[in-house]
Structure 1
């Protein structure tokens, strides 16, 4: 993400106007007010994902209102999905008010008046916002309207996947290549469409390709969370997502993958990472393997050697105590 604004770089008297200006440019023009008795602090980092933009923000107590007059003057025609990561905030639109806490999601639209406010006391709140052109979401506007300014919990399912995706983007200070951004933008559109369809109880309203991509990502996240369970099988994964094992295999085949082989690769990759971690140097090799769902030492050793061309103990010795280890063998 690129840092666009940091109030620490400015004298106190000019911070509020500067923040108002940057928010109008990166989001949509609003009427803006703050508690002048509190030293205003704010920061904003942004990254573009093709036609989408994701911003991570920190800000003091404020109120922001988008009025009909401002909409008539300029409307970028965006939906915004808002994730609170610290503190609380209220969002009002379409005669509804959502009280948002940490890990709550909510949707609002630049084409309709809204009112958002937060009281952070003398501290700050943080959030991540993804702006999506209205034309990109494959759901009718009149159906999405039903979800504006409603809390969309993100503790499980697709909501948790959207929240995790936005949090990772907000935390990542690196710079994405343009091709990476466009691909991640498509993933985010699919995830948000699946989230909205879930809350509308109308999954059939989302085109099949979007549903399949969102389900595939949700299943991968489920597997990551359960890699340490040695009895994790394709049948278990399919049952947890209310699909048939055959359909699960088809989802992975669409990406040129085998379910079981992919799980094994992810387990071995995590074992390899931990074996090279000095902080885990005192942990037995078999304990690291068991931690990632590979409880049989002999099976783990053979699989590791097939994957990386070296025994796990030798790999650990070379990475922690000298030498150069590359995939396929030692040099």
Structure 2
């Protein structure tokens, strides 16, 4: 879903209507500016709220000010919404609470939280509704955060570590800045994405081309090991040199797939040993000779590896085939 675009600051204010109609007007304004939501308030006669919105590239920058309120996004609201986004919220004046995805978080001034409009949520502003709300396209968040679904509703500490850096940067974003940009919009949105990834301690997801390259390298590593496994003392450095990549690149590629070089090498060697020990045509080769052929010239080490991977010694495996 494409983000909304505008070159002007949009404004909604309950100051334009009679006091008795202000809550209804505000609910309509929130649904127009953000999403379908329901709102209640403990404030009766003096209820007053406003919101300003600017567009920074694909990101909507919203500043809300006004009275205490409780905001709900229920299943009926989800059904009425044509578009969905993530929202990054931050308050700097007082505590508030939020619930989503099984998380109930109490947030203090400068803390942040990421919400997903595709799921029900609620938040309570017990004193004021003064809030920064950044509307983030789903595809944009997915490009910066690994598995954002498990992070929604969780408090980001806005006073420590990268959370503090994210809070400080985000709070500088205003609808006015979104229109009168001090830097190219892409520079500002990339900075926001990078800080969000750091605050969540998330690896930035690979692009499709990077994912294809990683898959290709993983296949090449596997083929190289199958080609070279019979060399005694085969190392990751040797395979990396064969593939013309650094040893660090090789290990990083394997680690991202939950693999290790030694694990792949041992599996390859033991698969070859199992095959030779299973076939009668190799019976003229002694156990030590089989070990030598799979790159394990030390008989005792070969026997230990067979016990570990085949569940018995090579001699016993040969007898029980």
The bucket for the TM-score relative to the shorter chain is 0.5 to 0.7
1:146 is matched with 150
Aligned 1:104-253 pairs, distance under 5 A: 104-120=111-127, 124-138=128-142, 143-170=147-174, 175-176=179-180, 180-196=184-200, 198=201, 202-203=202-203, 205-207=204-206
Does the Cα contact within 8 Å between 2:51 and 2:62 map onto a contact in 1? yes
Q: Distance in 1 between matches of 2:167 and 2:43?
A: 32
Provide the TM-score with structure 1 as the length reference: 0.54
The match for 1:16 among 13, 18, 23 is 23
Provide the TM-score with structure 2 as the length reference: 0.56
Q: Distance in 1 between matches of 2:89 and 2:37?
A: 16
1:2 is matched with 9
Aligned length: 200
CA-based RMSD of the aligned residues comes to: 2.8
Structure number with bigger Rg: 2
Structure 1 residue runs of 5 or longer lacking an equivalent are 209-331
Q: Distance in 1 between matches of 2:146 and 2:173?
A: 29
Q: Structure 1 207/161 Cα, relative in aligned 2: closer, same or farther at 3 Å?
A: farther
Deviation at 1:38, TM superposition (A): 4.8
Aligned 1:256-271 pairs, distance under 5 A: none
Does the Cα contact within 8 Å between 2:145 and 2:197 map onto a contact in 1? no
2:32 is matched with 25
Q: Structure 1 99/75 Cα, relative in aligned 2: closer, same or farther at 3 Å?
A: farther
Q: Distance in 2 between matches of 1:132 and 1:174?
A: 14
Deviation at 1:29, TM superposition (A): 0.5
Deviation at 1:172, TM superposition (A): 5.2
Q: Deviations over 1:77-96 (max 9, x none)?
A: 21111111112221111122
The match for 1:55 among 62, 70, 74 is 62
SS in 1 for 2:47: coil
Pair 1:92 & 2:99 matched? yes
